[in-house]
A = this chain, B = another copy of it.
Amino acid sequence: MRIVLDAMGSDKFPQPDLEGGLLAAREYGVDITFVGDEAVLQPALAALDTTGLKFEVVHAPEMLTMEDKGMALALKAKRKNARNSMAVGIDLVKSGQAQAFVTAGNTGAAAATAYFRLGTLPGIDRPALAPAFPTRHGTCVVLDVGANPDVKPENLLQFAIMGSLYAERVRRVSRPRVGLLSNGEEAGKGNQLVRGAYPLLAASGLNFIGNVEGKELLGGEADVVVTDGFTGNIMLKTAEAVAKMITEVMREKIMTASPLVKLGGALVRPALRSLRQLLDPSEEGAAPLLGINGLIFIGHGRSDALAIKNAIRVARQAAEAGVVASIRDAMAQAPA
């Protein structure tokens, strides 16, 4: 098992990326290939303890950043002899030298590079970014959260098939419950897209539970929730912003109150640590870009070493579970 890590990915690269990769090599016994500028990576690696760890460095002198977008990005993503770390890393997956590619870099750049270099699986028109969303009782796979702002009902059906397989194979959920994100639970609620997708999902043979709203999603009533990338992205970011606002306002209120309230704050803190973990995206590390002909995981730019390590863990699970092959098989059997 070899996993390629974009060592130029996170906001504070290469430190969190390298440390996370080495942690994963130590803990999970996977072989790691770091891709990036050797002039940056070698000195940083020299300062770390790498005794007994299996890793290699592949030189990629360029990198894609948040500035890369639109047509210019598409050209960089496509170029045959691209020398940026994402393209070089993804080519290692394409040639079969590695089983998955992990990056904490620009999501759009990673998605475009994966799309142009690996392509989508037969029957999949668009890939979908599928993170695990925290719920009352664990997590729920939500897709798409950003790869496609405008989709058709058939795309949501494809997302549902992929998300369901991912939940089953990687997250070990049997007969995953698939919900359709809508502005009301009853059938018939929704925008044109949702009303068009509903009958396709109902006829799909998946364990479709109908429309869901934020309440049901967070209540853990679905294992997979499908939506367009625009709505999914807004939902995800709103949830993060609300959680952040609540915890910040709470801290503020406690810290500016009487000494007795501060004491109370100190007493409850340990009990609330696990709440923080519940809301912390670094637990999952990264989200798969499903539908691509190869395993791609994309993490937050603000990933730390722990998040990178967790991303590699999830990528390894997905590789072992044969996610790409199972989506290919499912689409081959699906009615056109």
**Contact residue among B191, B218, B233, B247 (Cβ-Cβ distance under 8 Å from A183):** B233
In the bound complex, do residue A183 and residue B249 qualify as a contact, i.e. CB atoms below 8 Å apart? no
Query: Binding site of A, secondary structure by majority: helix, strand, loop or mixed?
Result: helix
A245 adjacent to chain B (CB < 8 Å): yes
Tell me which residues across on chain B come within 8 A of A268, comparing CB atoms: 254, 261, 264-265, 268
A150 adjacent to chain B (CB < 8 Å): yes
A301 adjacent to chain B (CB < 8 Å): no
**Contact residue among B188, B235, B271 (Cβ-Cβ distance under 8 Å from A234):** B235
Q: Among A75-83, A162-170, A171-179, A236-244, which stretch is in contact with chain B?
A: A236-244
Interface residues of A in 150-200 (CB under 8 A from B): 150, 181-184, 188, 190-192, 194
A38 adjacent to chain B (CB < 8 Å): no
Chain A positions near chain B (C-beta within 8 angstroms): 69-70, 136, 146, 149-150, 181-184, 188, 190-192, 194, 213-215, 217-219, 228-231, 233-235, 237-247, 249-250, 253-254, 257, 260-261, 263-272, 274-275, 278-279
Known pairs A70-B188, A190-B230; list 17 more (Cβ under 8 Å): A149-B183, A183-B234, A215-B240, A215-B244, A218-B241, A218-B242, A238-B242, A246-B246, A246-B279, A249-B275, A253-B271, A254-B268, A261-B270, A263-B264, A264-B264, A264-B268, A264-B269
